[in-house]
């Protein structure tokens, strides 16, 4: 039986279909999850996709964090289930305290949409094992609230433990501290990043490359070998 | 009904580009002498029943878990008479 990857749809989620498609292209069985259901339908891993859940009211990800599905996801993530948060999903993961720090309005206050180069800094998480450390990838980036912040102590801790998973290359698009584009929790099962790997899984769309597919092949390999 | 106000402000060490944008616009509009602007959020809560210690404790909990993100924001709770 192939691995089941769940993708949550909140009101305002935009990229759930792309994430489901990316999971399928990697060879997984994509499973749609609904924010009001606690039931995770026996998925092996969860993707929190991009968009503007609950209109980003209050703070990006702040309201979604308290939805019924998140109760189950927080519990399972703490027990080791792999969770990937992309963009709005990353914001939800920080609001849920599954990842440290917080996401704030871009330092230039503009919505940004560009092809973004990243350096892979940690190739040992559940979602990055198909990459190599130092590898440069290019995936689309589009956000309003993409500025990663944390206090100095937390940043030093993340650096020391190798938990900065991705860093922006060439351009820091939003003022994120220490050029951080993505981080992982200590166990390596929860990963969050602002850019969108799910939009770069086929040559026809996105950057025209398939640099993002590695996230989904990584997790599939991990789950199938588990 | 009593009104309780929760004010939420970004912590002093967190960059506030919105406040900065406002501050930069001031001289253009003829308002001189403002050295810095920081922008926050104000929540006005109309509370049913008495605002006693227990009610205030609940509101404090609400502010801490939901209205403010204490990783980046400070908050104050005050009862308006």
Cβ(A41)–Cβ(A6) below 8 Å: yes
Residue A216: both structure tokens together: 């989904």
Question: Rounded to whole angstroms, how far apart are CA atoms B19 and A225?
Answer: 51
pLDDT at A207: 85
Percent of all residues in chain A with a pLDDT value above 70, rounded to a whole number? 99
In tens, the pLDDT along A115-137 reads 999 999 999 999 999 999 999 99
Q: Which of B15, B39, B65 to mutate to test the interface with A (most CBs of A within 10 A)?
A: B15
Number of structural domains in chain A: 1
Number of structural domains in chain B: 1
Q: Is the pLDDT of residue A224 over 90?
A: no
Task: State which residues form the domain around A124.
Answer: 4-225
Cβ of A109 within 8 Å of Cβ of B72? The answer is: no
pTM tops 0.90, yes or no:
yes
- Of A88-92, A132-136, A138-142, A220-224, which range is least confident? A220-224
pLDDT at A141: 97
Q: Which residues of chain A have a CB within 8 Å of the CB of B67?
A: 58
Among this protein's residues, is A196 annotated catalytic?
Answer: yes
Q: Beta strand A83-86 with A190-193: parallel, antiparallel or unpaired?
A: parallel
Q: Is the pLDDT of residue A226 over 80?
A: no
Q: Is the pLDDT of residue A158 over 70?
A: yes
Among this protein's residues, is A113 annotated catalytic?
Answer: no
What is the separation, in whole angstroms, between the first and last Cα of chain A? Answer: 12
Question: Rounded to whole angstroms, how far apart are CA atoms A182 and A164?
Answer: 6
Q: Which residues of chain B have a CB within 8 Å of the CB of A102?
A: 69, 71-72
Among this protein's residues, is A159 annotated catalytic?
Answer: no
Nearest-Cα distance to chain B for A181, in Å, is: 18
Burial zone of A82 (CB within 10 Å; 0-12 exposed, 13-18 middle, 19+ buried): buried
Catalytic residue among A87, A121, A138, A199: A87
pLDDT at A1: 65
Question: Rounded to whole angstroms, how far apart are CA atoms A99 and A167?
Answer: 16
pLDDT at A206: 80
Give the CATH number, domain containing residue B67.
3.30.1280.10
The stretches of chain B forming alpha helices (DSSP H) are 17-28, 53-62
ipTM here: 0.90
Per-residue pLDDT tens digits of chain B, which is 81 residues long: 899 999 999 999 999 999 999 999 999 999 999 999 999 999 999 999 999 999 999 999 999 999 999 999 999 999 997
Give the CATH number, domain containing residue A138.
3.40.50.880
The overall average pLDDT reported for chain A is: 96
Cβ(A31)–Cβ(A7) below 8 Å: yes
pLDDT at B23: 96
Residue A63: both structure tokens together: 């309201």
In tens, the pLDDT along A192-207 reads 999 999 999 999 888 8
pLDDT at B77: 98
Cβ of A109 within 8 Å of Cβ of B67? The answer is: no
Tell me, yes or no, if B12 comes closer than 8 A to chain A by beta carbon.
Answer: no
Q: List phi, psi (to 5°) of A174.
A: -145, 5
What mean pLDDT comes out for the span A105-122? 97
Task: State which residues form the domain around B72.
Answer: 2-80
pLDDT at A180: 98
Q: Is the pLDDT of residue A13 over 70?
A: yes
DSSP string covering A130-172, please? TS-TT-EEEEEEEESS-EEE--HHHHHHHHHTT-EEEEE-S--
Question: Rounded to whole angstroms, how far apart are CA atoms A89 and A15?
Answer: 10
Q: B9 by DSSP, 3-state: which? A: strand
């Amino acid at each position: 039986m192939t691995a089941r990857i769940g993708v949550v749809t909140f009101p305002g989620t935009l990229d759930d279909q792309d994430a489901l498609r990316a999971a399928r292209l990697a060879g997984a069985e994509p499973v749609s999850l609904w924010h009001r259901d606690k039931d995770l339908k026996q998925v092996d891993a969860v993707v929190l996709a991009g968009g503007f859940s609950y209109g980003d009211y209050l703070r990006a990800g702040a309201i979604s964090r308290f939805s019924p599905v998140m109760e189950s996801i927080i519990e399972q993530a703490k027990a080791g289930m792999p969770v990937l948060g992309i963009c709005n999903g990353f914001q939800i993961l920080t609001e849920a305290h599954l990842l440290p720090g917080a996401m704030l309005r871009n330092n230039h206050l503009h919505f940004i949409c560009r092809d973004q180069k990243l350096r892979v800094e940690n190739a040992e998480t559940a979602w990055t094992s198909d990459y190599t450390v130092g590898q440069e990838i290019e995936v689309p980036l589009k956000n309003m609230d993409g500025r990663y912040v944390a206090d100095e102590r937390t940043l030093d801790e993340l650096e020391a433990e190798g938990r900065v998973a991705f860093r922006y290359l060439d351009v820091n698009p939003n003022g994120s501290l220490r050029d951080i584009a993505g981080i992982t929790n200590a166990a390596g099962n929860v990963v969050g990043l602002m850019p969108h790997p799910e939009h770069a899984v086929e040559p026809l769309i996105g950057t025209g490359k398939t640099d993002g597919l590695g996230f989904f092949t990584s997790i599939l390999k991990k789950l199938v070998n588990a | 009904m009593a009104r309780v106000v929760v004010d939420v402000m970004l912590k002093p060490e967190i960059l506030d580009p919105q406040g900065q944008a406002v501050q930069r616009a001031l001289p253009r509009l003829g308002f001189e002498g403002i050295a810095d602007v920081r922008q926050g959020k104000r929540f006005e809560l109309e509370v049913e029943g008495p605002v006693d210690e227990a009610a205030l404790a609940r509101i404090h909990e609400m502010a801490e878990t939901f209205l403010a993100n204490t990783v980046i924001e400070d908050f104050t709770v005050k009862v308006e008479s």
